[in-house]
Amino acid sequence: MDRKQLMESVKAQMPSKRWEHTLGVMETAVMLARRYGCDPEKAYLAAILHDVCKYWPVKDQEDVIRDNGLSADLLDYDKELWHAAAGAFVAKRDYGIDDEEILNAVRYHTSGRAGMSLLEKVVCLADYIEPGRDFPGVNNIREIAEHSVEKALIAGFDGTIRFLLDKGKKVYPLTVIARNSLIEEIVG
């Protein structure tokens, strides 16, 4: 499948506003990849596919997770996390992506994880700071991203964790683990 076919197929699975977000993530991921020395083509592919299942019915996302032995613990947490695991599976099954680094960038773009690859960091951060994002603190994260992908991600995870705590929601443990891992990476 060439780029145009991939883009048309993914675009068909989401509302136009989410497609605009996806394009913003793609542009931002490619820019960050170039800045930090990551493969821009992999960043492009992972970014285009990162939300491929976001607008699938929740039951379909759940079925993909359950039926394929994916991280079933996700089902105990916010449904907003589910599309990432389902999306990585669909990227492989439906789009023939077999590069584990690209699949992991899709899989962990919402939660992060310990020991994230540079590509995973780039796609996760691009999802936070793409130009269409407008939430308290996003400009600060964008400024930090000018100098450090790790520090910017920590700021992003801090905001996500704060938001979930303020809403009285559970925090997916992998996000806390990802944050702590990034701090260890910076401290050394």
Dist. CA 112–CA 105, nearest whole Å: 9
Q: What is the pTM of this model?
A: 0.96
Give the model's pLDDT for residue 72.
80
Give the model's pLDDT for residue 188.
79
Give the model's pLDDT for residue 1.
77
Q: Write down the residue that tokens 């000018």 correspond to.
A: 146
Dist. CA 37–CA 45, nearest whole Å: 16
Judge whether 113 and 178 are in contact, CB under 8 Å. Answer: yes
Give the model's pLDDT for residue 71.
81
Give the model's pLDDT for residue 122.
98
Using alpha carbons, list the distances in angstroms from residue 20 to 27, 51, 155: 11, 11, 24
75-90, pLDDT tens digit by residue? 999 999 999 999 999 9
Q: Which residues of the chain have pLDDT under 70?
A: none
Judge whether 142 and 177 are in contact, CB under 8 Å. Answer: no
